[in-house]
Amino acid sequence: MLRAEDFFELEASPFKLLFTDTEYVWEALGKVKGFFETQIVPNTAIARKGKSLIEKDLVLCNGEVIERGFEIDTSGKKAVVKKDGMVLEGASIIFAGCYLMDDQIYIGKNTIIEPTALIKGPSYIGDNSEVRHGAYIRGNVLVGDDCVVGHATEIKSSVMLGGSKAGHFAYIGDSILGKVNLGAGTKLANLKMVDSPVVLSIDNVVYETGLRKFGAIVGDGVETGCNSVTAPGTLLSKNVLLYPNGTARGYYPQDTLIKIRQDQDCQNIR
Cα 184 to Cα 169: distance, rounded to the nearest angstrom: 6
Q: What is the pTM of this model?
A: 0.94
Residue range of the domain that includes 188: 4-40+122-268
Whether 66 maps to a domain, the answer reads no
Contact between 260 and 243 under an 8 Å Cβ cutoff? The reply is: yes
pLDDT tens digits for range 168-212: 999 999 999 999 999 999 999 999 999 999 999 999 999 999 999
The model's confidence at residue 124, banded by pLDDT at 50, 70 and 90, is: very high
pLDDT of residue 12: 85
pLDDT in tens, 5-42: 999 999 988 999 999 999 999 999 999 999 999 999 99
Closest CA to 97 of 139, 134, 46: 134
Please tell me the distance from the alpha carbon of residue 122 to that of residue 100, in angstroms, as a whole number.
Answer: 11
Q: Does residue 105 form part of some domain?
A: no
What is the reported pLDDT for 28?
98
Quick one: pLDDT at residue 262?
Answer: 47
Q: Is residue 17 part of a domain?
A: yes
Task: Look up the CATH number of the domain holding residue 246.
Answer: 2.160.10.10
Instruction: Identify whether 64 is part of a domain.
Output: no
The neighbour count for residue 180, using CB atoms within 10 Å, is 24
Q: What is the count of structural domains for the chain?
A: 1
Distance of CA 258 to the CA centre of its chain: 22
Asked if the structure places residue 12 within a domain, the reply is yes
Q: Is residue 49 part of a domain?
A: no
